A and B are shown apart, each in its own frame.
Chain A
């Protein structure tokens, strides 16, 4: 248990909804609009928590349990991810496997809750969710295996302590490939463009948003907050790779938070410059991410 890591944990809990605000503001800037306030997600969460709920008669207790199981899983995942140069709250060998499986638990029960409604829209979203995540999973683990080999360690905190800053000079190409692979996984897992468009108003084309169509009130607040945290943890993986260690606690903290915001801006820029891929093209993108990560592993084999 690393006591100092309570600070990043607190930051994650407080700041994660802000990332969504930054993405939306970036997109608004590109589109020449004023855009929502930065704090819009907080307002949404607050409003949702005040509401009652309506449940479909088709649904069962699993529909009500899904959002809570998902949020609990991703909250647990937050404690396993290092933040910049801060080690994770809990660090142990192969902690990233537990991390990946917790995200798996979140997905499993989101999908189950979606299927519980018996709606074909939500079935469609659920089907695409399991499809894309099954293809993203190998890319994530191969990328992490490459990093583990570079750092000679199996714990996320040690790995990210090793690969930031100076390591880029020695093994730049390897890290760059892993970085791209992780970035693609981040976009896919968080249902962003080019995999999914969270802003479309057509249920037929969506993945994550359509899965949670029937949720409302506090349940939907849990889902929204869970999604923000999921974006935070995956962004933290990417940020951990690039942020250098300055040696000063506060400067490290500022750099890491700045890195997170930067990732949010990059996601916003990607969303503004790209269209969503056709659904049939997404597997190629994800397989490509896996191939990049595998190539990085082979490049770094002599390490």
Chain B
């Protein structure tokens, strides 16, 4: 516990020191990164111990806030989320040392580091706090500090608007959580989360309402469709190391909250599992479809976060169905797959956002259709990005495959044994997850292929430079993590033991047996991967021997004999995904602006496509305009005199007092 407190102290101190020094020199950035890394190391040690032993640590101090208590506890569930949070925070902070260099001298960067440290601190406290008031305060700290990070480049209008959307969305979500926490507190007569878990909620109707509140409240932070609108706005607006942190781990606090809430709500009826699978399928399929249609690399990655949150929700849905029928295999595989995907997504999405940041840093643009041929200019970034791309597509031998395998395995097992109420939603899950996998592969062959392969599509790309070592090392570390989990899948899956015991309440030997049922096929998979790599090696040697001493020449790409190709002939991201946008046009609603080439010597022709968000335009904008119209009727209340406002407060207090004594 001392180490945890030390970590939090380091974050707070680091933030304050960086704020007051407020400089923009590289040495100062190293200081900030050191504080965050120190916090990460001292926080990870107890977390890993808890994951290994399964025994929780806790600490309570009185806190003079109504219903508040400084009550923090590190149990296996918190530890499982804490480890990726701290690791990615430290790696992103190191990356920032190189990434922010282009900003140095332009403006003081003290506030950026200050809010970065506060965001990490907020996430830590969210994961650790066991008092409802403390939890909500930490939740708010996290939301507000990330708002300031998103609006870092506030001189751009689009960034400001993204910041507002984020701020409104996150507070609407918090509103639902507030109701959730008040209802829980009233039901159990306590504000301790540990008491809530012990007592539980036993009225089915109330439990159902609480479940829905948690899904909306935590789902807004996590980015469930249709509460995801802030995600594709906020992630591209933030500096890349912040996007990596927000997308990699901050949105996972929503998943953490949801899983924590499950432990209060007793045995779930079937509809809860159906609902989560439904949300997972919607988020997954729509997330990846909208990702496909994006032209901005960071916006594309943001939509992929929605997709991956959907995959996690699918895992949790399988787990809930298992809890309903008492099938420990489904519980372990569902929750295990979902929770492992939390870790995996933190690794590969962090990696991809850092890679996108390196592209932005090196070329000055994240517009996919302006890039091309970067593999030759940025070989390190390209290889790590490729690893991330294969991992996120759920392909072996990398980590994305492992967690999706667990979820698939759970779905197949349930689909084979159980009756229609469980088998049919699981079949939908299988079809949906297969479709998501195929579409994700399409999306990342596009993202990698157009950005890193072929010839540069615009002239300014030719001067691109590779990211420096400070930026490369975090990317390499994350890529190594992806490879490690893929190659040592059985070991990693076994380490889910403690957290699964904690979440599901199953007896340890039961969890162990069911995990063994998952590690057994994974061992075969790993053997298969080893054989695959050996075969690959053999083929490489064969090709080398075959080509040795023969004529190997270089030429131009075959263009049907056309001798003067230009880079503009190449396929672009828009043309690559054109079949998808045509087939799903009813869903995507892409705008097209086409100016056809006309005449014998056409002077100009152009095509522009844009795919705005489905929910943003059709659901929220009209809704909020109506609300705005309604509220504007109350404008006469707002006169701008302080005296009048104090009068309002006084009147409110008197009314409340009268109501109390009525």
Contact = CB atoms under 8 A, between A and B. Distances in A.
A123 interface: yes
B575 A127 contact: yes
Interface of B: 372-373, 375-376, 386, 390, 393-396, 401, 405, 408-409, 412-413, 415-416, 419-420, 423-424, 427, 430-432, 434-435, 437-439, 441-442, 445-446, 448-450, 453-455, 517, 520-521, 524-525, 527-528, 531-533, 535-536, 539-540, 542-543, 546-547, 550-560, 567, 569-571, 575-580, 582-583
Given A118-B454, A134-B435, A219-B543, A142 B521 contact: no
Contacts of B525: 92, 98
Contacts of A97: 405, 408-409, 412
Contact of A52 (B405, B420, B552): B552
B430 A141 contact: yes
Contact of B445 (A94, A111, A145, A290): A111
A64 B259 CA distance: 46
Contacts of B546: 49, 217-218
Contacts of A218: 542-543, 546-547
A297 to B, nearest CB: 6
Contacts of A217: 546-547, 550
B413 A154 contact: yes
A95 B559 CA distance: 42
Interface in A61-118: 62, 64, 68-69, 71-73, 75-76, 79-80, 90, 92-95, 97-98, 100-102, 104-105, 107-108, 111-112, 115-118
A120 interface: yes
A246 interface: no
Contact of A115 (B376, B395, B453, B532): B453
A165 B550 CA distance: 52
Nearest to A98: B525
B155 to A, nearest CB: 37
B556 A130 contact: no
B419 A301 contact: yes
B430 A142 contact: yes
Main secondary structure of the interface of B (DSSP, over half): helix
Given A203-B560, A214-B558, 14 more contacts: A51-B550, A52-B553, A54-B553, A56-B554, A98-B525, A105-B395, A111-B449, A121-B559, A131-B579, A134-B441, A148-B415, A149-B423, A218-B543, A290-B431
A53 interface: yes
B527 to A, nearest CB: 7
A36 interface: no
A106 B569 CA distance: 27
Nearest to B432: A138
Which of A104, A279, A294 has the largest count of B CB atoms less than 10 A from its CB? A104
B430 A123 contact: no
Contacts of B575: 120, 123-124, 127
A200 B582 CA distance: 25
A9 B376 CA distance: 40
Instruction: Report whether over half of chain A's contact residues are helix, strand or loop; otherwise say mixed.
Output: helix
A167 interface: no
A155 B235 CA distance: 42
Contacts of B551: 52-53
A75 B547 CA distance: 22
Nearest to B423: A301
A270 B308 CA distance: 40
Given A94-B409, A101-B396, A112-B453, A72 B554 contact: no
A118 B453 contact: yes
A76 B531 contact: yes
Contacts of B376: 60
A97 B553 CA distance: 40
Contact of B405 (A76, A94, A152): A94
A69 B538 CA distance: 11
A57 interface: yes
Contact of B438 (A55, A102, A128, A135): A135
Interface residues of A, number: 83
17 contacts: A54-B555, A57-B554, A62-B386, A72-B532, A72-B536, A90-B528, A95-B521, A97-B409, A100-B434, A102-B532, A112-B386, A118-B557, A119-B571, A126-B445, A126-B576, A130-B446, A298-B424
A222 interface: yes
Nearest to A203: B560
Given A108-B393, A145-B412, A134 B571 contact: no
A58 interface: yes
Nearest to B393: A108
A57 B532 CA distance: 29
A54 B552 CA distance: 6
A60 B445 contact: no
A137 B375 contact: no
A137 B373 CA distance: 30
Contact of A116 (B454, B527, B558): B454
B442 A130 contact: yes
Contacts of B439: 134
B557 A56 contact: yes
A183 interface: no
Contacts of B427: 142, 145, 294, 297
B521 A101 contact: no
Contacts of B405: 94, 97-98
A283 interface: yes
Contacts of B431: 138, 141-142, 290, 294
A9 to B, nearest CB: 12
A57 B557 CA distance: 7
B454 A137 contact: no
A107 B438 CA distance: 10
A94 B412 contact: yes
A133 interface: yes
A22 B424 CA distance: 40
